[in-house]
């Protein structure tokens, strides 16, 4: 079983879908970034199962892209079954690699 990961995109502060962006480069950038983010978060969270309840966390990643600076910032929202599960998930997300 894999952790539930949702990726939300914002371009210049406006919520959007990667496949609805009219700029082909930006659409491809968002889609590719989303795949990479999903793979990295999934890899980190596979071992972050709550030992008490045996649940995996749910994570929403918001990828905020600024067209002016061509920079992307990521923010994470983690839902877990309990405080211990949340701490394990946050610790796993903060690990390098």
Q: Give the per-residue pLDDT at 46.
A: 85
Give the C-alpha separation, 48 to 4, whole Å: 12
Give the Cα separation of 21 and 49 in Å (integer).
Answer: 35
Indicate the number of domains in the chain: 1
**For the chain, what is the mean pLDDT?**
92
Domain region containing 69: 4-94
| pLDDT tens-digit readout, 8-50 | 999 999 999 988 888 899 999 999 999 999 999 999 998 788 9
Question: pLDDT tier at 51 (50, 70, 90 boundaries)?
Answer: confident
59 contacts 77 by C-beta, under 8 angstroms: yes
- pTM comes to 0.87
Per-residue model confidence (pLDDT) at position 22: 87
So what's the pLDDT on residue 97?
A: 64
């Amino acid at each position: 079983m894999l952790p539930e990961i949702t990726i939300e995109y914002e371009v210049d502060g406006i919520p959007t879908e990667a496949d609805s962006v009219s700029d082909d480069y930006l659409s491809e950038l968002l889609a590719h970034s989303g795949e990479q983010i999903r793979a990295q978060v999934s890899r980190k969270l596979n071992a972050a199962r709550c030992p008490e309840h045996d649940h995996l966390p749910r994570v929403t990643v918001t990828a905020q892209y600024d067209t002016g600076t061509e920079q992307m910032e990521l923010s994470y929202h983690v839902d877990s079954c309990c405080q211990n599960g949340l701490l394990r998930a946050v610790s796993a997300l903060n690990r390098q690699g």
